[in-house]
């Protein structure tokens, strides 16, 4: 059974930093692109970032470029999102998702971790 478990969310001050983690199990982690998708309270979904199987390619939504960094450790079956210079508009539930194989979609999702940016 595929499982994705996020952690690391919480309260951060504007301008502060947080590091999210996602522990994967039930599949060969190193064989899949992975993603972060976020959802502001009461709002829709927003794709945040993707990372290739070996970490050699990374893509970000414009609003987080230069502030967020996606990374992975295939030896630990883990995905990360380093979030710096946080803004109030970054407040959201952040989901870790396994990208579909060979096409554009998000096949499996974690339960999400809430990030709140407020003073």
The site that binds another protein (CB under 8 A) totals a number of residues, namely: 19
Q: Which of 36, 110, 113, 117 binds another protein (CB under 8 A)?
A: 110
Residue (19 or 107) nearer to another protein, CB: 107
Site string for another protein, 61-80 (x = CB under 8 A): x-------------------
Q: Which residues inside 38-57 make contact with another protein, applying CB under 8 A?
A: 44-47
The Cβ of residue 97 has, within 10 Å, a number of other Cβ atoms equal to 23
The radius of gyration of the chain's CA atoms, rounded to the nearest angstrom, is: 13
* HEC sequence for 50-71: EECCCCCCEEECHHHCCCEEEE
Region for 53 from its dihedrals, namely left if φ exceeds 0, alpha if ψ lies in -120 to 50, beta otherwise: alpha
Residue (66 or 75) nearer to another protein, CB: 66
Residue 105 touching another protein (CB under 8 A): yes
Residue 8 touching another protein (CB under 8 A): no
- Report d(CA 47, CA 33) in Å as an integer: 14
Residues that bind another protein (CB under 8 A): 37, 44-47, 59, 61, 95, 100, 103-112
């Amino acid at each position: 059974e595929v499982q994705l478990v996020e952690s690391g969310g919480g309260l951060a001050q504007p301008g502060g930093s947080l590091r999210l983690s996602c522990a994967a199990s039930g599949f060969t982690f190193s064989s899949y692109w992975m993603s972060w998708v976020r959802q502001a309270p009461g709002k829709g979904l927003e794709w945040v970032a993707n990372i290739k199987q070996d970490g050699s390619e990374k893509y970000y939504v414009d609003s987080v470029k230069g502030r967020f960094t996606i990374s992975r450790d295939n030896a630990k079956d883990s995905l990360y999102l380093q979030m710096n210079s946080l803004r109030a508009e970054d407040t959201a539930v952040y989901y870790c998702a396994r990208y579909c194989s060979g096409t554009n979609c998000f096949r499996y999702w974690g339960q999400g971790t809430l990030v709140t940016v407020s003073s």
